[in-house]
Each structure stands twice: as structure tokens, then as C-alpha cells.
Amino acid sequence: MSHNFSAVVVNYNGADFLIDAVTSLLAAGIISNKIIVVDNGSGDNSMQDLLLKYPEVLLVEIGCNAGFATAVNRGLDLVTTKYALLFNNDALLNGNALCEFERIFKDKPKAAILGAKLLNPDGTLQNSIAEFPHIFQEIIKINKYRGTNFDQVTKVESVIGACLAVRMEALQIVGKLDEDFFFFLEETEFCLRTTNMGYGVYYVPAAVATHAQGGTANKFKSLARIEFQRSKLIYYKKTKGIIVWAIVSLLLVIKSLVNFVSNLIAFLLSAGLNKKFKMKTAGYFKILLWHMLFRPNSWGLPNKCR
């Protein structure tokens, strides 16, 4: 059993995978009353099922969709251990991951955030590392870490938040997640802030988690894209300033227009028979309309608190 780790799991309608995620945390050695599941107003039976199977797990019910960062912070407020594991409800933790994380925290006193090697359910490598967003990525899709499979612990810019270990002591300096981000890029800004304050972010390949990737977002694809673009604009405004924000803002509008028009043409050329182009055209139109309506806060993922 690990007495140094608590886990914070954010749940939203995760009946298909939440119990498996918690079971993997218990099997990895986290004590049941140190697993904190924060529910963002689920409409399914995920929390009731979890309570029946694991009554000692700590449940926090927000009652509406407060977003990932807010929910994580509610969980972090209840952590009393040296380290916290931020863990997606659609992930499964490998048995020795906590030992690997703890070893690196002890070896590297300035390490504040550690990321796991993420695998797809079929065992193939999933993207586990990210560089900080920059304006050139909006023109050419480049990620210097894409496809990288480091075989040793490596200091990186940012790690993916599906399985992320945090040194709680560092939060006193760095602060928790920025709640201006509803969904997407909150862990990226968190890693940037951590780096800027003199702490390290490391990728730990021996700590492994399997991740279904986007179990929630995949149910609301166009709405999730709106949420991602909103987070991207927030990130650029906070970290790069108003001029870069304005350029990226214009680029997003142009790309949304191009995507809408190109898919509309493809749909019309198929004589309206191609359902894939129909769905993509409708999705891109929704995103374009969101921009044209000056990006209303009410648009995006459903059941929001705000």
C-alpha cells in the first residue's frame, strides 16, 4: 500500500469505465479512502455504482459540470498525502507506476510534475508528452515530441494530464490548476507555470497507464472542438499576450471557414449521400457560427455550471 499517494479522479457520466479506473488505482496500492472522485453533475449511475462497490472511496459531488480544472482543485483541497495522482476516469494504472513516480520524486527534489507513459487500449503508444503551444503550430502542425518514445526519465515541457503525479509541497508555490480553463490545456498551462517557477516536469516511461482517450469529449465532438479552441485562446492570451491572441483568433476563424466550405463542397459533390461529410459540415458550421457570434460562453460541452 502507498501511504504517500492520493488520487483525484474527475468523473462525468463515466459509468462505462469509472469502476475499472478505481479498481486499477486500488490494485496499484492507493488506499481506498485516499481515492477522491469528483463528479461534475453526471446524469448516469456511475457514482451510485461506485459507492455500492467501493463505499470507502471519497466522493465529491459538484452537481453540475464545473470543468476539469475546477473539479481537480476541489479534489486537491482534500489531499493530505505528499503526492497526488491526477487520473482520468477512462484510464487504467499499471501496478508499479506509483513506485516509479515516488522514486523520481525522491531522486529529483525539484521535480513537481511527473507524467506517465500512456498506451492505447490495444497496447500501442499514445502521445504522452507535449510542447508548449506556439503560433507556428496554428499554421503547420508540428510537435517536436510527437512519436517520441523516450526510454529513460526525461525533462520535458509538458505532459498529458490523463495520469499526472504532483508533489503537493510545490503547489504552495506554483498554485493549483487555472480554473479559467474549462476543458483542455489546463495541464499545459500548469506545466508552463511550474517550469517558470523553477520546478521540473518529467516524463517517466516506467510508469504506465492505459488510456481510452477522450471518453467524454468523443461523445460531443463539435462541442469539444469549441471547448478546445476556447481553451487555446485563453492560453495564448494568458501566456503570449493580446497581439498573439488576436493573430491566433483570426487564424482559427479562417481555418473554421476553410474546413466548413471544403466539407460542404465534398458533401454536395456526393449528391448529399455521404453521411461523413454531412456530419463534418454540420460540425464545422457550428464551430464557425460560434466564432461569428463572438464566442458565447454558453456554447461548448453540456451541463455547465456557468
Residue 301 has a pLDDT of: 85
Tell me how crowded residue 20 is: count the other CB atoms within 10 A of its CB: 16
Residue 118 has a pLDDT of: 96
The domain ranges of the chain are: 5-215, 219-292
Query: Nearest-CA neighbor of 2 among 75, 89, 95?
Result: 95
With the C-alpha atoms ordered 243, 225, 146, 161, is the resulting torsion angle positive or negative?
positive
Dihedral pair phi/psi, residue 273, rounded to 5°: -100, -15
Average pLDDT over residues 19-32: 97
Residue 146 has a pLDDT of: 72
Class of the 5-215 domain? Answer: alpha beta
For 80-90, how does the pLDDT look when each residue is reduced to its tens digit (9 = 90+)? 999 999 999 99
Q: 75 and 38 in contact (C-beta within 8 Å)? A: yes
Task: Answer yes or no: is pLDDT of 220 > 70.
Answer: no
Task: Answer yes or no: is pLDDT of 241 > 90.
Answer: yes
Rounded percentage of the chain residues whose pLDDT exceeds 70: 97
Residue 214 has a pLDDT of: 62
Tell me whether strands 111-119 and 200-211 are parallel, antiparallel or unpaired.
parallel
Task: Answer yes or no: is pLDDT of 216 > 60.
Answer: no
Residue 219 has a pLDDT of: 59
Q: How far apart are CA 162 and CA 117, in angstroms?
A: 10
Indicate the pLDDT class of residue 145, thresholds 50, 70 and 90.
Answer: confident
**Lowest-confidence range among 7-11, 48-52, 221-225, 289-293?**
221-225
For 163-200, how does the pLDDT look when each residue is reduced to its tens digit (9 = 90+)? 999 999 999 999 999 999 999 999 999 999 999 999 99
Distance of CA 168 to the CA centre of its chain: 19
Mean of the per-residue pLDDT values for the chain?
A: 94
Distance of CA 21 to the CA centre of its chain: 15
For 91-127, how does the pLDDT look when each residue is reduced to its tens digit (9 = 90+)? 999 999 999 999 999 999 999 999 999 999 999 999 9
Task: Answer yes or no: is pLDDT of 246 > 90.
Answer: yes
DSSP, collapsed to helix, strand or coil, labels residue 252 as: helix
Residue 215 has a pLDDT of: 56
Residue 305 has a pLDDT of: 86
Average pLDDT over residues 268-275: 86
Residue 174 has a pLDDT of: 98
